[in-house]
Every structure is written in structure tokens, then in C-alpha cells.
Structure 1
Amino acid sequence: MKYSVTSIVQHLVLLAISLAAAQAYAQDLEAIPKTAAKRGDSKEKIELGKSLYFDPRLSATGTVSCNSCHNLMEGGDDGRATSMGVDGLTGPRNAPTVWNSVFQASQFWDGRSATLEDQAKGPMVANVEMGMIGHDQVVSRIKDIPGYVVQFEATFGKTDSVTIENAVDAIAAFERTLITPNSALDRYLVGDKQAMNEAQIRGMELFESTGCTECHAGPALNGWQPGSDAEFVDFPRFEDSPYVEKYDFVADVGRSMATGDNGDDHYFKTPTLRNITLTAPYFHNGRVNSLTEAIRVMASTQLDVKFTDQELADLAAFMEALEGEFPNLTFPRLPSRSGESVIHASLNAGPSDQG
């Protein structure tokens, strides 16, 4: 088959127009940074933070670690509607992913912590999570393990180095390494136009043209930009959506539980969409099990839009393009106390009164 010079030129022009249009639709999206290290994030501090992150002895029963609810072997969450803490107790909200959590202006669904360091303090002393009586008990538990004392002194100096501030500083340093770059979207945004397939490009265009990027913009697709203030979005926006009652979305009043301001009722932090295909179930209460249903729910409750089956498939395909490359992690060898446990069983142990 022969092609005329004119037909070839026309084809190239159409291709250029198509690529330009697709690129225009990517204007609200950015490749995710490959590093978020802060000054002072030494190798020693990161390794100490990793050990603390994986250590269940920081919980009252010795059974729950940070990784229990934010599993780094998978999507950075735990795959449950709501997480299970000490004594089998469960909390009210779905565990957000810890992958790329550094690219957020606040932590927790209600944004009650501004930093990774402050966030790390909370679960340790939450009754339904790690269940320690107070941070003094956490510090005492760490001090009971000689190997940790050595690590803290090597990282923070020999004077009063084992403190809760230093512990969460180390955990946060480790969490700042939990970044998943080089997704298909990232490669597409930096010029590899073969990185995304046609369905993913259609999904990206639809994602932007219907207003999803009002909230899910930027490198983490959560509205975050370096140095940006925390923002919160009303959810559900259209309360007459049939999904509001179906999934009981208004039972949790959201940010007002942290601020005490009724004006913050039903406002939540915008979650990252990075690796969203790996973090089902969805929403703050974990009531929606499938990604396609989650897209359908968001269209109805936030945009008052109903997508066709093809549009839903294209949007889901775009979400697949957000899966990044996970760093290789080695499990830490946790320090131990020779011949003696630091977890002391109570003779009066019984069922918790928090159920």
C-alpha cells in the first residue's frame, strides 16, 4: 500500500494535535518527586525509624506495630474497612496508605496532625490502636531494650537520646523514603507518550474535564504542593445522592471532631490517588469494596454526574496508571533483650472495656 506525501503529512498533523490535546489535559497533574529527604535524615536515623515502624513491642500487648495497619508489603494500608488494634479492637476509620504520605499537608482523615512526626505519636497511645497508657510508657519500653539505646545514642547523641520526640523523628525519616515514583503517568508526563495506553489517556482526559482535579491535582493527586497549607473538602457534597445512605457516609462528621467547629462537619482531607488500585476498600469508613464502585460514588456525591460503563472503565484504567515503583525494603533485625521479654503479661488481664 502506498501513501502520498499529503496523507503522511495529514497523519502527522493529526497525531501532533492528538498528543497536544492529551498533554493539555495533563496540566493539573505532575510527576511525583523521587525524594523527600530532610536535612538530618541520616542512614542511621532511617534504619532506626524502620525498626520502630515494624516493632510491635511499642504496643501495650506487643501485637500491633505501625506496619500492622500500614502494611508496606502491599498498598500501605491493611485491606480492612477499619483497622484492628490491641485486644482485637477496631477503630472508626479506614487506614490511609503510608506510601507517599510525605506528600500531604496534613495527616489522618480529619487532618488533626500537621506532620508525619506528630501523626506517629497518636496511634501509640490510642486505646483502639497500640494502646499504650502514655508516651512515657513507650519510652520506658524502648529503654528496656539495650540495642535500641545503642541505636538512639548513635543517632541522637549519648545524652537523653531516648525520647518520644526522637522516636517519632526517626519514624518520620523512614516514612519520607516511602515514595513510589515512575508510574505510567509519571513517565507520560515527562515525555514518554507510549507509557499510557489509549484507555488510560481517555480516562485522564475525562478525569480532568469532569472536574476531578478540583481536588485531586498535583503530584500526589490530592491537591498537595510543596509548602501548601492543608485543605479539606466537603464530603458528601451532594447529600441527595443515593450512595450517601447506602454507604452511611454522614455518620462520621469528619474534621469537626478535631477542631470542635461545627462548620467543619463532613469535611475531610483529600486522599492521594497514588496506588489507589492497591488500597481497597475505599473512603473514610471503608464501606466501598471496589474501585469502579468508588469512582461511581465519587461521580454522584461530588460531581452530580453519572458515568457510562465505558467511562468508568477508562477512569479505572487511568487509576492503574498511578501505580508506581516500590522501593526494595529489607526487614530490620529488631534488637532484643537477652533472656527476658519486655512485654509483661498481667495476671488480671481480661477483655477490654472499649468494645
Structure 2
Amino acid sequence: MEKVVLGRSLYHDTILSGDGTVSCATCHMLDHGGAEPRKTSTGIRGQKGPINSPTVLNSAYNFVQFWDGRAKDLQEQAAGPVANPIEMGAVWDEVVAKIKKEDEYAAAFAKLYEDGVTQDNITDAIAEYEKSLITPSRFDKYLRGDASALTDQEKRGYQTFKEVGCTACHAGVLAGGAMFQKLGLVKDYFADRGTPLTEADMGRFNVTKNPADKHFFKVPTLRNVELTPPYLHDGSRETLEETVAVMGRYQLGRELTQQQVNDIVAFLKSLTGELPPHAKMPEGS
């Protein structure tokens, strides 16, 4: 738990950014379901990032990290934004030097890590904190046999969710996070969007350079999705209702009825969970 507490401090500390204005929590807000309310992230000096920040909650269960899967685990993921010139705009050697000068941090690292403050140990502590951000929900109670945990509409929505094919991608412990899938599987999402293609729209292709991977993204978790608008990698959808209808159209080739949409959204809200007590920084810290 000591590494988790250290990681929590680092996660919320702007010391990780080049000018001391941005922390991990700037784009992954615990009060916004571990994501952000902006279409795309805002980094150092107000720069606009290319993509909507995915939730950090329950992210330990993702099979890879980032929309394009370029990081194999949370520790590798944690190293990226710090050195990204648009996000946190720092140099890792300088970050390590700054943290070494902070007495509390230096003491904590000396206690927990044989080699003290290093980039690897900083990202390890942040990853340990992020691994602890698990949010049990009413749906989990339902799966364990408590039929009263869901309303009739939520149960109907769960049935519809399965029947129309959502579980082909949104399955497993996260209801997602276990595979890549093409956005616009049965209909061209990007042709209909009405805005120019961006590098971020290329998805997995940016990592593999394989043309077959264009527009493939890690399927996002649906846990806490109620809390994380706007939706999709481009932050283009403001409501769950709109997003469910869009997914039906472009991923399943279905025009879902309003009743189906409403029921699925009701079910998705049952996936909203509770933050663990240690998740937030203590009052006054």
C-alpha cells in the first residue's frame, strides 16, 4: 500500500510536467470517471492533444494501454505523457532531479526502492496506484447472483446489449479493453463524420504501419462510461444515447430503436462503480 500512496502523490503532482502546470490527474480526472470532459486533452501551455483521454479506472485489466495499444502495461504507459511535448512537456532526467530534491519524495523512494528515485521507480509507483483504481458496480452484484441489483429496464438493456451484438467487442471483466477493432466496421465512420482525417484517426496503424490496421483502436471499457463524456477517440459524441446509436450504425449495421438505445444506456449506467477510499488525495494535502 505504501507504493500506492506514493504513486497517488505522483499522479496528482504537477512536478512531472515541464512547467509545473500539468499532472496525470489533469486529463484523467477521478471525478470524471478517470477521463476528461474535453473533446481532446489539453496539455502544457494550453496545447490541444490529438485524442480524447481514456479512463484510468480499472485500466489494469486492459490488454494493452493507449487507444492505439502502443504501451504493453501501465508502467510503460506512465512514461509516455511526461516526455510528450504536447502533454506534459518534460525531460525525464530533469523530472528525476526535481523529485530527488523533494525531501518527502526522496525519503519515500529510499524506503521503497533500493535505487531510490529513478524514472522506472516513478512509473512503477504510478502504475501501482493506477492498478488499485478498481470500481465495483451494481452489475457485479448482479453477476454474483443478486437479481435485485438491477432494475427491470437495466436487465432488459443487458439482454438487448447481448442480442444486438455489442458483446462481440465489449466483453470480459471490463466490457471492453481486450481487443482491437475497426471504427466503422460495417459503414465508413470517417467519411460520414464531416471533418478531415487526423493522424490520431489512423489508430493502430500509427504503431504497426500495417495498412490493414488503419482506424483500428483498442475497444474501450464500458465501466463508468456514464461518467466520461464526450465519447469515442475523437470526443465527437456528447451523450451515451447518441454514442450507442452511432455504434449500432457503424459497428453493427443496425439502426437501433429509441427503446433499444434507452434500455442499453440504462444498462450501461449499472456499470458505474465506486472509487476505492484511498483513490483521492487526503483533504488539505
Same fold (TM over 0.5): yes
2:95 corresponds to 1:148: no
Match of 1:68 among 26, 32, 55: 26
Structure 2 partner of 1:323? 272
Distance in 1 (alpha carbons) for counterparts of 2:107 and 2:284: 12
Q: TM-score, normalised by structure 1?
A: 0.76
- Displacement of 1:246 in angstroms is 2.8
2:163 corresponds to 1:206: no
- Displacement of 1:238 in angstroms is 2.4
Distance in 2 (alpha carbons) for counterparts of 1:118 and 1:67: 17
Q: Is the 8 A contact 1:235 1:302 kept in 2?
A: yes
Q: Is the 8 A contact 2:63 2:177 kept in 1?
A: no
Structure 2 partner of 1:259? 208
Residues 1:148 and 1:101: Cα distance change in structure 2 (over 3 Å): same
Residues 1:167 and 1:147: Cα distance change in structure 2 (over 3 Å): same
Structure 2 partner of 1:296? 245
Residues 1:313 and 1:333: Cα distance change in structure 2 (over 3 Å): closer
Distance in 2 (alpha carbons) for counterparts of 1:260 and 1:142: 37
Structure 2 partner of 1:245? 192
Match of 1:82 among 36, 40, 62: 40
Greater helix content: 2
2:118 corresponds to 1:163: yes
Q: Is the 8 A contact 2:61 2:177 kept in 1?
A: no
Residues 31-74 of structure 1, C-alpha deviations (whole Å, 9 max, x = no match): xxxxxxxxxxxx22111111110100110110100001001133
Match of 1:125 among 46, 59, 83: 83
Q: Is the 8 A contact 2:187 2:253 kept in 1?
A: no
Residues 1:333 and 1:324: Cα distance change in structure 2 (over 3 Å): closer
Residues 279-309 of structure 1, C-alpha deviations (whole Å, 9 max, x = no match): 0000001011111000000000000101111
Distance in 2 (alpha carbons) for counterparts of 1:333 and 1:154: 25
Three-state SS of the structure 2 residue aligned to 1:112 is coil
Question: Aligned letter for 1:300?
Answer: R
Distance in 1 (alpha carbons) for counterparts of 2:149 and 2:196: 36
Where structure 1 has 5 or more consecutive residues not aligned to the other structure, the ranges are 1-42, 225-230, 336-355
Q: Is the 8 A contact 2:223 2:273 kept in 1?
A: yes
2:223 corresponds to 1:268: no
Q: Is the 8 A contact 1:61 1:86 kept in 2?
A: yes
Structure 1 partner of 2:182? 234
2:75 corresponds to 1:108: no
Match of 1:280 among 213, 229, 233: 229
Aligned length: 282
Distance in 1 (alpha carbons) for counterparts of 2:93 and 2:206: 26
Distance in 2 (alpha carbons) for counterparts of 1:223 and 1:91: 22
Residues 1:250 and 1:239: Cα distance change in structure 2 (over 3 Å): farther
Structure 1 partner of 2:57? 99
Three-state SS of the structure 1 residue aligned to 2:5 is helix
Where structure 2 has 5 or more consecutive residues not aligned to the other structure, the ranges are none
- Displacement of 1:144 in angstroms is 2.1
Residues 1:73 and 1:221: Cα distance change in structure 2 (over 3 Å): same
2:149 corresponds to 1:195: yes
Match of 1:217 among 161, 171, 180: 171
Runs of 4+ in 1 over 6 A off after TM superposition: none
Q: TM-score, normalised by structure 2?
A: 0.94
Three-state SS of the structure 1 residue aligned to 2:147 is coil
Structure 1 partner of 2:129? 174
Structure 2 partner of 1:138? 95
Distance in 1 (alpha carbons) for counterparts of 2:172 and 2:111: 38
